[in-house]
Structure 1
Amino acid sequence: MKKTLIFLVVSVLASCADVNVSNSLSGVVPISGGQTARVSADDLVIAMGRSGFSREEILEHGPAIRNALSNRGGAEVRRGGRVTAILSVMDGSLYVVSQRGGTYVHELGA
């Protein structure tokens, strides 16, 4: 678990040099991290809800997060130029680190 969190943090720091990350002030930014995976809508709703996202935020950001996870393996959710959450898939689990909900690990397909 500790190795995974360290990997997630290193991946996020490495993505800071990405032009797409620095240019986006709000919304979802795909990042390279973890493993690409098709996360079901049900799994994503559960993980986002337990990580402090409101229903409106889940509806607003969910599709873009699912797309980012399937194409790049990670996603940042930004609001006003600040990262409010980071999501990444690794070893069959979805890792969510958010300002409101802390860290949550959801086993996919469970």
Structure 2
Amino acid sequence: MSREFSQMDKQIFDKLAPEAGGSTMSGMGHNYPFILRPISHRIAQSAEDFRNRLERLDATELDYLVGLAMEDKEDIRSLEDEDVESFMEFVRERISPEREKELKAKLGLV
């Protein structure tokens, strides 16, 4: 499934991976279908690096990603396990425990 990144998607991707220089293309030459998966699997050097990158997002950007995940336009389940935990923790702390529960239920992580 392929989707084109919106301006908000690009803004968030650039914040999470400034070293990509604004490119949302993989080394194979295709556009990334998701924002967080390439950060988790290719760009972040460790679980701690992934967490540090998430720190850059404000609550609005984080909730935007949750909204995409709720619409199956962002893939949270395929992130590294520690990265899924970090993302959920940020959702709980920066948005609300209710939003985290909603997302976990949608993803079947309850």
Between structures 1 and 2, the one with greater helix share:
2
Shared fold (TM-score, shorter chain, > 0.5): no
Higher strand share: 1
Q: Which has the higher contact order (CA 8 A, sep 6+)?
A: 1
User: TM-score scaled by structure 2?
Assistant: 0.30
Larger radius of gyration: 2
